Each structure stands twice: as C-alpha cells, then as structure tokens.
Structure 1
Amino acid sequence: MRAIGIDIGGTKIAGAVVDELGHIIAHDRRPTSASEPQVIEDTVVEMVKHLSQGEEIAAVGVAAAGFIDASQSVVYYAPNINWREEPFREKLEKRLDLPIIIENDANAAGWAEFRFGAGRLVSDMVILTIGTGVGGAIVSGDRLFRGGFGAGAELGHLRVVPNGLPCGCGAHGCIEQYGSGRALLRMANELADAGGIGQVLASVRSRNGVLTGQDISELVSIGDPGALSALRTLGTWLGQACASLAAVLDPQLFVIGGGVAQSGDVLLDPIRLAFLEALPARGYHPEPEFRIAELVNDAGVVGAADLARRYAETI
C-alpha cells in the first residue's frame, strides 16, 4: 500500500509517494507563503493530485508545525502559518477522495525514525530534533504519544532553568533556549566576545559579519577550541534534559536529529556524560542508548505517509 506524505514548512511544501517499507517512490517540492492559508490548501491539493497520477494511493498524511487536535483533524495553532482553529482535514477531504490525517511535523519525523531509522529495533524511544528550536517526539510501547488533547510531546518547552531565558512560547528557561541551534550561536558569540578560546570565532565573525551554523560546524570539524566548547555546553544542557525525560518516560533509546546532530559523537559524548551525571538512581537505573538520526530531510514526508497508511488500515 502506498501513501502520500506532505510536509508543510514556512516557505516550502514537500510531498512524496511512500511505500510500506518507507521508500520514496516519487516526490515533489513547491514554494509557498505561510501567510496565505488558502494558497497552502490549494498547493497541497495540487500536489496530492499530481503525485497520485498512475498510483494507487491508500491515504494522505499532512505534517505541519503546531498543535493538532487528538482526532488529527484541526490545527489549534501553527507558529509559522496563519492557522488558528483551522479545520484543515475537513477542507482537504472535501476536495480529495482519500482518507486524510493531519499530524504535528515533529511527531511525523519521529515516527519515521522509529519505523525506518535509528529507532526501528526498540519499542520506546524519544527523539530530540536540534534546529532553530528544539522539537521532539515520543514513542511508547510502539505507539506515538500525542497526549489527551493531541498537543503533547512539545519537548523543546521542558523547563530546565527556573526564571531562565525568555522563550517564544511565553515561558522562561525552556530547553529550546539552551539546546537549540539558536542557543549554539548565542554561546559561540559570547565566547567570541570574551576572547581566549573564542579568538577564532571572533575572527570568523569579523570576516563574515556574523557567525552562522555552518561556520561553527566547520570550526568543530577542525577542532577549534571555541566552537567545541560551545557545542559541549549545548550537549550538556541536552543531556540534563534527557535525564529528566528518562525519569518520566524510561525510553530504551534517545535519538538526536536536526542540523546540529551532524556533529555526531562530538555532540553525543557531552550529552551522554551530562545525562549520566543527572540520571536519578544512577547505577541502578537501566541506561538508554543515544544515536544520531538516520533519516534527515525526508523524515517528515515518510512519517506522515506511514501514519496515514496505518490510519487507512483501521477504517
């Protein structure tokens, strides 16, 4: 059974036909405007019709950032799209003669990693995606956790510092402010300002005008002390957050994804160390594994398609 996965971003929409083994058979990608909901709806409909040509499609899964209700129908709130209480599933079903589900994009990507990536051999997994912010998903007992209202697993908003840095969610001290790509840039700039091991960071910033994630990644790859220090600090915060999550969820595996995860063990090592230092009942509590995500840019469409296929099998 083949299904279509659609992943809606702030500036583009990606779509793919995916088989039952998670393989992409055909794909499409189109620019769009987050400020125009009708354009987004039209683009999704056009993509599904285009991708369906010559294919027997079982269902469509649409992934987007935001709070989705428990029935996978209504987008309560989307931070990057002008959606508020948007009945997106109903609108699409009126225009497409296919079963449809709407899913949070981090949940969809996490499910893909669980089914076809780093988590395929476990039953309980937590994934943290480290990008501009911190996203995440939870799989418990082979089932994707959504919470009672459908808006669960907002792991980036786990509070790690009481009265800490302000977060875009309105709270203070969220892990997103200490463990994200944006946080890494802040830490690197602070080291550049301080001199010492931050001298190379300061030099790169002076030459280019700003520090970018790519700059830090390149400096990490050549062992620059300042860039490595910033990354280790980031990993320490993430490890402490994972210890809190482990106390509640007891996963067998933590998967770390997103652009920052390209650093591999250079990031995982401080995460593991901080995790063990903060783990309750260390020495008596089983210790989960930490792995880098295997599916990268395709995780959203693959996960959305697989969730839609599973939904179609139940109706």
Structure 2
Amino acid sequence: MPLIQALTIGVDIGGTKVAAGVVDPDGNVLHHVRRDTPSSSPQATEDTIADVVDELRRRYEVTAVGIGAAGWIDVTGSSVMFSPHLAWRHEPLRDAVRRRIRLPVVVENDANAAAWAEWMFGAGQGESHLVCVTLGTGIGGAVITDGILMRGKYGVAGEFGHQTVVPGGHRCECGNRGCWEQYASGNSLVREAREIAASGSPVAQYLLDKAGGDPQKITGPMVTEAAKGGDPVAVELLEEVGRWLGVGLANIAAAFDPGTFVIGGGVCEAGELFLGPARETFRRTLTGRGFRPEARILRAALGPDAGLVGAAELARENARLFRRRRKPRPPASARLRARVDRLTEGLAEEGPRLR
C-alpha cells in the first residue's frame, strides 16, 4: 500500500454518477473509481459512498474523506436538506457516512467543492472575486471572495440554477417553473435535442441516426460530437444553451460583480461552440455595459475531477484544523511558569528604558 503524506479521498455525487478519487496535497488524483448514482434511495447512496471509499482505502492510506453532494447543505455541513435530483430530504449524511467508514468526513455542496478546486489549483487561481458555475444534470454555483467560500446564512448560497429566468416556463425538479437550469444545463440541451428529433423534422435526421432512430437515446455528448462534426442542428442547440448561460451570468454579475467566471461541467466539452455565444450574450445583457469592467468567462481547468478534488482538499483542511484544536495543552503549572518567564523577559527588555 503506497503511503504519501496527507492523502484524502474526494467523492463527487451528481444526479447520474458517483466519482471518487485519492487526492494528494497538490491536487493530483492518484486513483479513480466511478459508480452510477442510486438516486432513488438515500441508503443506497450511502452504501455506494462506503463502497468506493473502501475500494480506495485498500490501495492507499488516507486521513479524511470529503463529499461533494448535489443539494442544499445545512450551515453545519452535517445534513443535505434537499436535492432536486436525488432522494435526500434532511439527510444526516456526514454522520451516517462517518459511522460507516470510521474516518473524519466533510460534506459540502458539489459546486462549492468544484469552485474550491478551481480556485486552489485551476482556472480561478489568483482571483480575489470568483464565481464558479457548473453545468451538469442541473446548474450549480459558488462564490469565493478573498479566499472565503461564501456559504450564506443558512449554507445554501450559490444556487444560481434556480433563479427564475422565464416566469411560467418549464417545470423544474425544485418545484418552481422557469429556472435557469431548465434552459442552460446539460438536461436542457438533451431535452431540446430529443424534442426536435421526435418532431420528425428532417433537419434532425443526423442526430436521430446517431441514436439508432430512437429520440430518447440522444445524449449530451452525442449532441456535442455532432456539433463538432458540423451538424447545423447540433450547433444551433449548443448556441441556444450558450445564450441562456450568458443571460444568467449577466444576472449574477449584477449581484456579485466578480472578476472571473469559471464554467465547468460536461456541456463545456463543446468549447467555443458553447462559450462563444455565452460571452456574446453576456456582453449584450450586462447591466451598465460599456461603462464598467467585464468579468472574464473561462472554461474550468480541472474538468470532471474538480468536484472530487475540491471535496478532498476541504477534507484535508478540516482535518488539519481539527488536529490543531486537539493539540494537548500543557499542565496549568507549566502554563503559569511560561507566563512568568514571558513577563520576566519583558521586564528585562524594558529595564534600560525604565532606568
């Protein structure tokens, strides 16, 4: 079993996958494992987390585990209050997993974890006012200001995907209508592609052929691949999602005025086919445009590893702080002697001036 100082495990739980890895202090992932997310059962999700942690611990000695969870995490970092895409409802995830694996556990929102990784090791390095937006099954977000992860009063800051951009629009898993993630996420891209393919329009024939004639088998990576190959409908679909991304980023800029947006998630595999329209719409929609500096919009550098790297790094920092708090204090008599010694030294230094 390899032994490298201060290794931790990061677990990234999304709507469709559980990705985990052993991470070193420089943000390098030494080993990966992946499972499908059992989204219908909190107990099954805990089982999956314990399973991937056990598999990684058989290969490496680790000090702590960080979990990046797709949902609203309470301010204590102990419970998942709600997840639009998973079955968690006030789920005491931290303590449940800690009992199973017998290691220190940190639970953080998955977008917060990804943002922390990008700020520490990726595209957000050196930025004092960073906003990270992750586009996957839905849209996650996070804000880092002067090295502080802004969690909000109740721990649920950064849920930008659930800002309303189309009143009365598409129904969202959160219970509302017209949420941003219904127009600028991976799910929205797939929904639109399937709808146009199912309509029987000849313009979608290429995508339909790629899916074996079944619109329901069209996936996001399939649309991206088709767009890179020049398929006009796939290009149009990515441009539309990009424009919606730009609208939402302009709203966030009006509230937070960041210096940099870092955009992550699977949709970003399309590169400038997607980010180009996002930047153009952002500039057109930004309040005070032409009279204010514009934030940079950058693609995330760490790719799909960002969430697990950030969770592992947050677990490492938490373990380090815990060790400091647990450092034994000297006996009372020793503390008293040390205090007398400091006072004596101070008087000795002041002596010449007093005389």
Structure 1 length as normaliser, TM-score? 0.88
1:238 equivalent in alignment to 2:232: no
Could you list the structure 1 runs, at least 4 aligned residues long, displaced by more than 6 angstroms after superposition: none
Q: Identity over aligned residues, as a percent?
A: 46
In the alignment, the residues of structure 2 paired with residue 89 and residue 149 of structure 1 have an alpha-carbon distance, to the nearest angstrom, of 17
SS at structure 2 position matched to 1:290: strand
1:135 equivalent in alignment to 2:144: no
In the alignment, the residues of structure 1 paired with residue 203 and residue 169 of structure 2 have an alpha-carbon distance, to the nearest angstrom, of 29
Superposed CA deviations along residues 263-291 of structure 1, whole A, max 9, x for unmatched, are 11121111111111111111221111111
Alignment match, 1:156: 161
In the alignment, the residues of structure 2 paired with residue 86 and residue 68 of structure 1 have an alpha-carbon distance, to the nearest angstrom, of 9
Question: Is residue 191–residue 226 contact of structure 1 (8 Å, CA) maintained in 2?
Answer: no
1:48 equivalent in alignment to 2:43: no
Question: Is residue 74–residue 156 contact of structure 2 (8 Å, CA) maintained in 1?
Answer: yes
- The alpha carbon displacement at 1:192 in A equals 5.7
1:218 equivalent in alignment to 2:218: no
Alignment match, 1:274: 281
5 Å-filtered alignment, 1:160-199, equals 160-188=165-193, 199=202
- The alpha carbon displacement at 1:305 in A equals 0.4
Q: Which structure's residues are more often helix, by fraction?
A: 2
1:94 equivalent in alignment to 2:61: no
Question: Is residue 193–residue 202 contact of structure 1 (8 Å, CA) maintained in 2?
Answer: no
1:201 equivalent in alignment to 2:201: no
In the alignment, the residues of structure 1 paired with residue 270 and residue 59 of structure 2 have an alpha-carbon distance, to the nearest angstrom, of 41
In the alignment, the residues of structure 2 paired with residue 47 and residue 27 of structure 1 have an alpha-carbon distance, to the nearest angstrom, of 9
Alignment match, 2:334: none
- The alpha carbon displacement at 1:250 in A equals 1.1
Structure 1 gap segments, 5+ residues each: none
Among 64, 75, 78, the residue aligned to 2:83: 78
- The alpha carbon displacement at 1:243 in A equals 0.6
- The alpha carbon displacement at 1:102 in A equals 0.8
In the alignment, the residues of structure 1 paired with residue 238 and residue 34 of structure 2 have an alpha-carbon distance, to the nearest angstrom, of 32
Alignment match, 2:302: 295
Identify which range, 149-158 or 184-193, moves more after superposition.
184-193
SS at structure 2 position matched to 1:13: strand
Q: 2:245 is aligned with what amino acid?
A: L
- The alpha carbon displacement at 1:55 in A equals 4.8
Question: Is residue 68–residue 74 contact of structure 1 (8 Å, CA) maintained in 2?
Answer: yes
Structure 2 length as normaliser, TM-score? 0.79
In the alignment, the residues of structure 1 paired with residue 270 and residue 316 of structure 2 have an alpha-carbon distance, to the nearest angstrom, of 34
SS at structure 1 position matched to 2:64: strand
Change (3 A) 1:76 1:273: same
Alignment match, 2:329: none
Larger radius of gyration: 2
Change (3 A) 1:26 1:235: closer
Change (3 A) 1:83 1:125: same
Alignment match, 1:260: 267
Superposed CA deviations along residues 214-255 of structure 1, whole A, max 9, x for unmatched, are 332233113233222222221111111101100111111112
Question: Is residue 197–residue 207 contact of structure 2 (8 Å, CA) maintained in 1?
Answer: no
Alignment match, 2:115: 110
- The alpha carbon displacement at 1:190 in A equals 5.8
Q: 2:13 is aligned with what amino acid?
A: I
In the alignment, the residues of structure 1 paired with residue 224 and residue 119 of structure 2 have an alpha-carbon distance, to the nearest angstrom, of 27
Superposed CA deviations along residues 21-58 of structure 1, whole A, max 9, x for unmatched, are 10112333345633443343344345434434575533
Identify which range, 13-22 or 148-157, moves more after superposition.
13-22
SS at structure 2 position matched to 1:72: coil
In the alignment, the residues of structure 2 paired with residue 41 and residue 167 of structure 1 have an alpha-carbon distance, to the nearest angstrom, of 26
Alignment match, 1:57: 62
Question: Is residue 15–residue 137 contact of structure 2 (8 Å, CA) maintained in 1?
Answer: no
Change (3 A) 1:270 1:47: closer
- The alpha carbon displacement at 1:16 in A equals 1.9
Alignment match, 1:66: 71
Equivalenced residues, count: 313
Change (3 A) 1:306 1:240: same
- The alpha carbon displacement at 1:212 in A equals 3.3
Q: 2:139 is aligned with what amino acid?
A: V
Q: 2:208 is aligned with what amino acid?
A: R
Change (3 A) 1:165 1:301: same
Identify which range, 72-81 or 102-111, moves more after superposition.
72-81
Change (3 A) 1:280 1:33: closer
CA root-mean-square deviation: 2.6
In the alignment, the residues of structure 2 paired with residue 20 and residue 163 of structure 1 have an alpha-carbon distance, to the nearest angstrom, of 46
